[in-house]
Amino acid sequence: MENQEMSFVAGIPTLDIKAFTEGTNEQRNQFVRNLGHAYETIGFVAIQGHSIPDDLIQNLYAQSQAFFSLKPEEKTVYARPETNNQRGFVSMGIEHAKDSDSADLKEFWQVGQPNPPAHADMNHFPPNSEVIETPALKKTSEDAFKALENLGQLILRAIALHLEVDEFYFEKWVAGGNSILRAIHYPPITREPDSAVRAGQHEDINLITLLVGASAAGLEVLRHDKTWIPVTALPEHIVVNVGDMLQRLTNHRLKSTTHRVVNPPKSEWGKPRFSMPFFCHPQPEMRLDAMEHLIPKGEAAKENPINAGEYLVQRLQEIGLASK
């Protein structure tokens, strides 16, 4: 395995994680340098070489599509607003981008941590729902959750090395963390939309997000020169971006980049779009205060102290998923 240079197959830097998991010391170090550079500049990378089975992803898509094809009244039975909409079904018109009054054109299904820590406050870890009409959805989504959680921990190990802290700095917080796997359905567009976007421009709340290749184009990332670039990841890629929690923790050294999902050309309005992001959250008790060694001498941290649980509730209120 040769030292890899960053390519831009997906419109963003593309890296092979086998350089980190199977490479020489120099190959591991090069992966860490490339990943760190990408996260300090654009905040997004496409990861190839991961070990998540294709058939698991394909089965997740099949089970999710089967659920979304149910009648509206059948899906609504599985709404869980009492969990701050962090489990079960969330219908169209509920979530919106922060500082926007326009609801996103999507519905989604949410699955949380199947293995909460023994000491956990279970108010943060409500159980996952079973769907009578699609009985395989729960196991398939929980299997995908575990696989993506493991990949997320690998990437966080590389991030920790870039930040010059212990390689396993994040492990005690992310293993059994309050992560979410979200299966998103953007239905076909049947009339002239009020907005040019299916999901308004936003930044993710969590530490990192792992996005399994979407079924259609539409994801765009805002570069630092204020131009939008399309992200067209290949099926074997998983797009991984920095979220606001990691940006806070690193005193904005790593960038939580603005992104959105735009409407397709009119000729493709009749096609639905499916997307499977995994939002990697730590356990609620983790402090998000900026790492001291990343605060320049004589300066204050860019963000106020807060823990992950408090920050999550605050942000869920801002986007309409939690009541104030």
pLDDT in tens, 202-217: 899 999 999 986 655 7
How far is Cα 195 from Cα 52, in angstroms, rounded to an integer?
Answer: 35
Share of the chain above pLDDT 70, in %: 92
Residues 6+ apart with CB under 8 A from 147: 51, 52, 53, 56
Residues 63/189/111/82 CA torsion (nearest 10 deg):
-130
Rounded to 5°, the CA angle 314-316-322 comes to: 105
Does a structural domain hold residue 107? yes
Single-letter residue type at 174: V
Q: What mean pLDDT is predicted for residues 160-172?
A: 96
* 60-97 pLDDT per residue, tens: 999 999 999 999 999 999 999 999 999 999 998 787 76
pLDDT at 24: 96
CB 216 within 8 A of CB 141: no
Between 124 and 35, the more confident residue is 35
How far is Cα 45 from Cα 50, in angstroms, rounded to an integer?
Answer: 13
Name the nearest CA neighbour of 235 among 251, 211, 201: 211
Beta bridge partners of 88: 79, 110
Alpha helices in the chain (DSSP H): 18-21, 25-41, 54-68, 72-76, 137-162, 171-174, 244-249, 308-318
* 250-285 pLDDT per residue, tens: 999 999 999 888 887 787 788 888 889 999 999 999
Does a structural domain hold residue 129? yes
* Count of CA atoms in the C-beta half-sphere (13 A) of 110: 25
pLDDT at 307: 96
Name the nearest CA neighbour of 37 among 254, 219, 210, 321: 254
Q: Does residue 131 carry a pLDDT above 90?
A: yes
- The per-residue DSSP string of 1-13 comes to -PPPPPB-TTSS-
Does a structural domain hold residue 77? yes
CB 21 within 8 A of CB 43: no
Lowest mean pLDDT among 20-24, 92-96, 238-242: 92-96
Question: In the numeric block, which tokens belong to residue 167?
Answer: 């390689």
Does a structural domain hold residue 63? yes
Does a structural domain hold residue 139? yes
pLDDT at 273: 85
Q: What mean pLDDT is predicted for residues 154-180?
A: 96
pLDDT at 8: 59
Does a structural domain hold residue 13? no
Q: Does residue 9 carry a pLDDT above 70?
A: no
CB 116 within 8 A of CB 141: no
CB 141 within 8 A of CB 61: no
Per DSSP, the chain holds a count of helices (H) and strands (E) of 8, 12
pLDDT at 12: 85
pLDDT at 196: 52
Share of the chain above pLDDT 90, in %: 65
Average pLDDT, the chain: 89
Query: Sorting pLDDT into bands at 50, 70 and 90, what band is 193?
Result: low
Q: What mean pLDDT is predicted for residues 25-31?
A: 97
- Asked whether the whole model's pTM tops 0.85, one would answer yes
Query: Sorting pLDDT into bands at 50, 70 and 90, what band is 133?
Result: very high
Domain housing 180: 54-221+245-318
Q: Does residue 102 carry a pLDDT above 80?
A: no
- Cα dist from 314 to 7, 99, 257, 309, whole Å: 37, 13, 19, 9
CATH for 142: 2.60.120.330
Count of the separate structural domains present in the chain: 1
